[in-house]
Structures are given as C-alpha cells and as structure tokens.
Amino acid sequence: MFKVMIRDNMSPVAREILEATGKIEVVEDFDKATNAPERLAEIVGDFHGLALRSGTKVDERVLAAAGNLRAIGRAGIGVDNIDVRAATDKGVVVMNAPGGNTVTTGEHAISLLLALARNIPQGTMSLKKGRWDKKLLTGVEVTGKTLGIMGLGNIGRVVAALARGLRMRVIAADPFVSPEAAEALHVEMVSREELYREADFISLHVPRLKETVNMINAETLAQMKPGVRLVNCSRGDVVDLDALYEALESGQVAGAALDVFPTEPPDPTMPLLQHPRVIFTPHLGASTGEAQVKVAEMIANQMASYLLNDVIVNAVNFPSVSREVMDRIRPYLNLAEKMGALMGQLMTRVFDITLIYSGDVADLETRPLTHAALKGFLGSFTDKPVNYVNARAIAKAKGIKVKEVLSRDRTDYAGTLRIRLEGYEDGPDEIWGTIFGEKYPRIVRFGKIYMDAIPEGHMIILQNIDQPGVIGNVGTMLGKHDINIGRFQLGRLGDRATCMVNIDTPADESTIKDLQALPHMISVEQVHL
C-alpha cells in the first residue's frame, strides 16, 4: 500500500483518482502552517508521494526527512517551489502537469493585456471612490498593434492565437522554435532585440532559468519601443521590479500588468504596488475551476502510473515515457540494469562509459535504458541508494563521462545493447546483451568472447586457460562446497575461456579461494544480479 499526501486545496478529483486504484492511501493536508519546509519535514516521513500546487515548499530539509518518498507531483507547470536538484539526488521523480492550465493562463494574459490597454481596473476603482475620470483614463486600441511574445511554448501559442483573433500583429522570440513551426501559427519569429524595438505590447511566457532571471531589466527596458506595455504571467523574477518602476516613471513604459512576483505575496509597501499605471492580480493565471480540475486529474493519474507501474510521464528530472513505450522497453530496461550491475561488481574503480544501442534497440526510447545501466553500475560504488532518477546525477558527481551511440547496423542479433568501459585494461572492457523471444534476457558477449548466459541471481564469472578438466574441476569444487549449479555457460577464444555459472546459493570466501586455486584458473569473481 502506497501513501500519498495531497496539499494546497487541490481539486477533490485527485483524491478520487488515487483512492480508486485500491492501492494508494490518501491523506489531505490543507493546513497552510505546514507549507513551510521545516513544518512539512515533521510530517512527511512515511509518505511515498506528495501532490501539491504552488503553496507548499519542498527543499532539502523535506527530502531528507522523507525516507520513503518516490514522487512529487506539481499540479501545474512551474516547479520553482521544489528543489529539483535535491529531489534528483534523492532519487525522487518530480512531475508537473503541462497543458492542464495552458488555456487558462493564456486567456488571463490576454485579459490583462486588454485591461491594461483600456485602464479597466483604474476605472473600476475611480467609480468606487465616487469619481468620473473618463478623460484621465483614455486607453489605446489593440487592433493593428504589434504583440511581442517572449517564449512561444504552449501558453505563448494560446496567447498568439487569441491575439490574432484581436487582429494584432504577432511576433515572437524563442530560440527553441523554428521559423517553420512559427509560420504554421502565423507568428513571425524575430530576435529578442527586434522584439523589443517593434512591440507595442510584450507578453512574457518564459520558464525560470538562470538566463531568464531579471531578463527584463534597465538595459532591456531602454531597448524597448517608447510607450510599450508589459504583461507578465510567467515567473515573478523574470522582471527587475525596481527597473520597471523607473521605466514607468520616465514614461519609457506606458503600463504594466503583473500576475506574478519574485516573492509571493509581495511586500505591501513596495512602491510599484501604488503606481497608477500598473495593474495586478494575485497569481491567478491558472486559477479557474476548469484548470484546477485538469491539473489535478493529470497529476493524480501520473503519480498512480509511476507508483503502481513505474511509468514516468511529464517528469522534469527523468525521461518521460508512456505506458506503451514502457511495455516495449521494459525487457531491455531490466537487461541494461543487470548488465551494468555485472560490470560494476567486477570493477574496483569507476570508468567512463559508452553505451551502444544497435539494430532494433536503436529504434527504442534509449534514454531510460542509459539510466538503468548506470543504476546497475553505480550500485557498487556508493552507499547512497541509486535509482533510475538519480543515477545520471551520481555519475556526473563522480566525474563519469557517459556517451550514448545509436547504430542501425545489425550484428548477429536483431538488436543489442553494449556497455563499454573506456580505459579499462585489466579485464574484459565490454559486455553485450540482447533479448530472445521479446522477453528473455541474454549476455551474448563478454570482452571478445561470445556466449549465451542468463543474467540473474547469484553468478560466478570464471576466466581460465582453455585446457581439459577445467569444467570438471569447477563442478567438483562447487559440489564439495554444497553449491548447486543452475546453469553453466562457456565461451572461448584462442587459448582463453570464460564461464558464467548460475548458482542456487551464494559462494562464501573459502569457495572463491578454492576455485581460484584450481589449475589453469586466471580469475574468479562472484556477482549478484
């Protein structure tokens, strides 16, 4: 039975979906007092999953206290409130729900743009104070104006479509969108500098990255068209608020509409909050009933799929795969992990790793296979738990360079997975594996020697001079130590041979020493897969 905590007043549909599995216990905690990491750390101990929105903060303290935690589900797009790096190091999958609030946030950006153009909030407040400031609140039309969209992702594309409906010219800056893709959206791609020069309105839809923090600053504001109007429904620290205030005071910026802030809620004494040409909403971009239901549904289904079936969807720290893809790669996933574990247990230090996917395997989603191979390999070199999520991060921390090669060339098999240790010269530096009959894993090459071994359970790996009597001596010695042989596979090349022996019970140190002392024996190693 898995246990999941739901936080931040998430839609009831999340609880319904998780409990409907019959295998997940759900606890709802909507107490804002436990949103702070130090408080959450006190209660998170036995939970396997955390489902939350933006209110709850998850940092290293929470993750350190969450000994059973496997997944964090953010019902929304942004994961600024989650320490993703610490979660990755801990081996915790961090998922979000992109697309669930895309339309809602895009509509809000356009609503703010129109409200900004026509001074609607100021007009409302004027009337509530008994004034009739018609002449003071003259606005501007948006029809025929140029809207510059910074970031043409899912939300940016919704904004573009709505703006075109308002007969605006739409330009966009996004280094990850091709001109061809933009053309299909009837959007003109321009450089950031061109956008600043030409846009009458600018709408921000960029993620929080090192490169985007304070991207709207004194320098970039000065590059903008005089009288520009700015809308921010992305991340609060994308805009330098002090610089924005100065640009408003000088008249360089005619107005701004902000839904997000660097710190939420913002300091009520902040001068910008009192500026007459700035309008605000308290992070309402995704706040519609429809959107909250959608993101709750998405995150609950994703968490259930992972906890119950190891299917990872919309993860920000692991390659996401669908259930269909997972069904295809699962045999190779298990094979990759066992091959990595076999090589790792034979090593006394780490090496750079090259993974070669050949034939039919190259057509699969190979990134999870790389994580699986690293998980197996690194388990012998750290006392820290290694899983699919943190394997790549641990490899990087240990200075291991990981290279992936895709080859459509076939060997003697329809598809193979190969793991090669770069610079290893004290023994076999390469292992090959494949799947027989869609589900039966096999080691088909070890070093330069071909064989047909099943990677499972307790195994003894023997390397010897190819001379008569070696196999008989090995069988006799194992029998002497009361160890039953489940499978014995031999391969040879020239005067060298390699044996992979599956045994029913592990061999103790004395057994290994006695095998090592046999005539013509080069090396004896035991692994467990």
Distances from the Cα of 414 to the Cα of 202, 215, 273, 360, 361, angstroms:
53, 50, 65, 6, 8
Q: Is 481 a known active-site residue?
A: no
Quote the CATH superfamily of domain 102-280.
NAD(P)-binding Rossmann-like Domain (3.40.50.720)
In terms of DSSP bridges, do strands 430-436 and 415-422 run parallel, antiparallel, or are they unpaired? antiparallel
pLDDT at 492: 93
Distance CA 338, CA 353 (A): 15
Provide the β-strand partners of residue 496. 465, 493
pLDDT value, residue 471: 94
CA distance 435 to 455: 11
Single out the residue of 372, 446, 373, 359 nearest to residue 406, CA to CA.
359
Catalytic residue among 16, 183, 264, 290: 264
Helix, strand, or coil (residue 197) = helix
- Banded model confidence at residue 511, pLDDT cuts 50, 70, 90: very high
446 three-class SS: strand
Bond from prior residue into 207 cis (ω within 30 degrees of 0): no
Q: Which two tokens stand for residue 185?
A: 């959206």
Tokens of 521: 């024996």
Every domain of the chain and the residues it spans: 2-99+290-309, 102-280, 323-528
3-state DSSP percent of the chain in helix, strand and coil, to 5: 35, 25, 40
Q: What are the tens digits of pLDDT across the range 14-60?
A: 999 999 999 999 999 999 999 999 999 999 999 999 999 989 999 99
CA 200, CA 117: separation in Å to the nearest integer?
11
Alpha carbon distance 226, 252 (integer Å): 5
Between 4 and 398, residue with greater pLDDT: 4
Which pLDDT value is given to residue 385? 77
Give residue 216's identity as a one-letter amino acid code: I
Whose tokens are 């905590």? That residue is: 5
Q: How confident is the model at residue 431 (pLDDT cuts 50, 70, 90)?
A: very high
Mean pLDDT of 247-262: 96
Round to whole Å and give the CA distance between 8 and 32. 8
Neighbours of 207 (CB within 10 A): 15
- Give yes or no for residue 65 having a pLDDT over 90: yes
Tell me the per-residue pLDDT of 350-363, one tens digit each, with 9 for 90 and over.
Answer: 889 999 999 989 88
Angle 303-305-307 from CA coordinates, rounded to 5°:
65
Does residue 157 have an active-site annotation? no
Whole-model pTM: value is 0.68
- CATH class of the domain comprising 323-528: alpha beta
- Catalytic annotation present for 235: yes
Q: What is the pLDDT of residues 497-508, one digit of tens each?
A: 999 999 999 999
pLDDT of amino acid 522? 95
Alpha carbons 332 and 328: distance in angstroms, whole number: 8
The DSSP secondary-structure symbol of 136 reads G
Give the span between the Cα atoms of 388 and 74, in whole angstroms: 20
DSSP secondary structure code for residue 315 in this structure: B
Given 283, 367, 481, 520, which residue is catalytic?
Answer: 283
Q: What's the pLDDT score for residue 193?
A: 95
pLDDT confidence of 422, banded at 50, 70, 90? very high
Does the pLDDT of residue 382 top 80, yes or no? no
Overall average pLDDT of the 107-130 stretch: 95
CA dist 320 → 89, 95, 104, 269, 323 (Å): 18, 9, 25, 44, 10
Q: Which of 74, 235, 371, 420 is catalytic?
A: 235
Say how far apart CA 199 and CA 159 lie, in whole Å. 15
Of the pLDDT bands very low, low, confident and very high (cuts 50, 70, 90), residue 154 is confident
Q: 237 vs 102, 211, 421, CA distance in Å? A: 20, 11, 44
Three-state secondary structure string covering 256-295: EEECCCCCCCCCCCCHHHHCCCEEECCCCCCCCHHHHHHH
Please compute the mean of the pLDDT values over residues 469-498 and round it to a whole number.
Answer: 95
> In this prediction, what percent of the chain has a pLDDT beyond 70?
100
> What angle in degrees, to the nearest 10, is found between the helix axes of 289-309 and 102-118?
150
pLDDT in tens, 293-326: 999 999 999 999 999 988 888 888 888 777 778 8
Let me know if the fold of 2-99+290-309 is the same as that of 323-528: no
CA distance to 67, 92, 379, 383, per residue, from 62 (Å): 10, 12, 25, 21
> Helix (H, G, I), strand (E, B), or coil: what is residue 527?
strand
Nearest to 378 by CA among 351, 404, 405, 418: 351
How far apart (Å, rounded) are the C-alpha atoms in residues 490 and 486? Answer: 14
The pairing of beta strand 253-258 with beta strand 228-232: parallel
CATH code for the domain defined by 2-99+290-309? 3.40.50.720
